[in-house]
């Protein structure tokens, strides 16, 4: 269950439309390391996560990623709003424009549509948490790449906020991984899958 | 500045700040559930957020459905949408 809050997590106020930048930034909407993949990844993985606290962490971070998805959409919207077909074409936006006009659609910068194959839900707590940590780093790298390409401070400001959140979430997932490993045999964390094999790991102690 | 002296954009900025503190400490507490200082921080900012959302709803209209208090029209639907940009 979710409730909507009628505000962005961090403000986006862009006064200079620029479809060239929009084409780059849309990758964090529907690209391989974008916010849609992030949110679906964590919100999908949580159902079979046997440790309640870690499932809760996946829920809270997956929820924040939805707010990031909305921020990216707001950036793309404000960068393309009010531009004419000629202006969009001059910025190299014609291939997007012909299919979506100035609507928001999840794709990577190169035009590849959003695809669930961009993330995993493997049904193994250790595998999934390593994927989550890698995902946060991949998104951080993408934001670094965006910051090298984009100079408009009104765009860079919210992008820097999002980049910082990738680092915090990497830290949190590392802590989540340690919480899972604390419940497993420290001589061999990989002996069994705590999400699947009966009796694997200590799943009784949910309140500790 | 006291909350009742803020204009709409200042109050929205304040809501964004205290709400961010709540989100960030929530995720920290998920992995540090016994950290007393963090629990105190959560209680502090959570209360500031509740009060600010309530104050905003009374003066400018609701940002959350729980602070919506419609009179003769459905003011929830009248609120600007956050991607529109502008002052707040």
In tens, the pLDDT along A32-79 reads 999 999 999 999 999 999 999 999 999 999 999 999 999 999 999 999
Q: What is the pLDDT of residue B1?
A: 65
Query: Least CB-CB distance to B64: which of A3, A11, A172?
Result: A3
What is the interface pTM, i.e. ipTM, of the complex? 0.94
pTM to 2 decimal places: 0.96
List chain A residues with CB under 8 Å of B12. Answer: 7, 11
| Contact between chains at A3 and B20 (C-beta distance less than 8 A) | no
Q: What share of chain A is helix, strand, coil (3-state, %, to 5)?
A: 60, 0, 40
Query: Which residues of A fall below an 8 Å CB-CB distance to B?
Result: 3-15, 53, 56-57, 60-61, 64, 70, 73-74, 77-78, 168-169, 172, 175-176, 179
**Contact criterion met (CB below 8 Å) for A80 and A14:** no
A interface test, pick of B16, B27, B67 with most A CB neighbours within 10 Å: B27
Please give the pLDDT value at position A67: 98
Inter-chain touch B82–A10, beta carbons under 8 Å = no
User: Is the distance from CB of A17 to CB of A86 less than 8 angstroms?
Assistant: no
Task: Find the CB nearest B79 among A6, A14, A74.
Answer: A6
What digits encode the pLDDT tens for the residues A99-120? 999 999 999 999 999 999 999 9
Q: What is the DSSP letter of B22?
A: H
State the Cα–Cα distance between residues A190 and A16, nearest whole angstrom: 52
């Amino acid at each position: 269950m979710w409730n909507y809050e009628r505000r962005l997590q961090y403000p986006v106020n862009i006064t200079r439309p620029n479809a060239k930048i929009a084409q780059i930034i849309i990758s964090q909407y529907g690209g391989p390391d974008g916010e849609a993949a992030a949110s679906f990844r964590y919100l999908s993985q949580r159902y079979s996560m046997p440790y309640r606290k870690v499932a809760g962490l996946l829920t809270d971070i997956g929820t924040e990623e939805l707010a990031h998805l909305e921020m990216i959409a707001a950036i793309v919207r404000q960068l393309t709003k009010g531009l004419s077909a000629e202006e969009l074409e001059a910025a190299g936006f014609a291939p997007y424009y012909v299919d979506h006009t100035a609507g928001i659609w999840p794709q990577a910068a190169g035009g590849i549509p959003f695809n669930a194959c961009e993330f995993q839900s493997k049904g193994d707590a250790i595998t999934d948490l390593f994927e989550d940590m890698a995902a946060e780093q991949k998104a951080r790298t993408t934001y670094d790449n965006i910051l090298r390409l984009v100079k408009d401070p009104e765009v860079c400001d919210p992008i820097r906020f999002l980049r910082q959140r990738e680092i915090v979430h990497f830290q949190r997932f590392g802590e989540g991984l340690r919480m899972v490993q604390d419940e497993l045999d420290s001589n061999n964390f990989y002996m069994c899958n705590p999400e699947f094999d009966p009796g694997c790991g200590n799943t009784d102690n949910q309140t500790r | 500045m006291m909350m009742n002296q803020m204009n709409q954009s200042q109050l929205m900025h304040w809501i964004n700040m205290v709400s961010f503190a709540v989100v960030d400490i929530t995720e920290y507490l998920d992995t540090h559930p016994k950290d007393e200082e963090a629990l105190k921080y959560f209680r502090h900012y959570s209360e500031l957020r509740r009060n600010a959302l309530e104050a905003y709803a009374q003066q400018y209209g609701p940002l959350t459905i729980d602070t919506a208090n419609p009179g003769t029209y459905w003011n929830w639907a009248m609120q600007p949408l956050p991607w529109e940009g502008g002052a707040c």
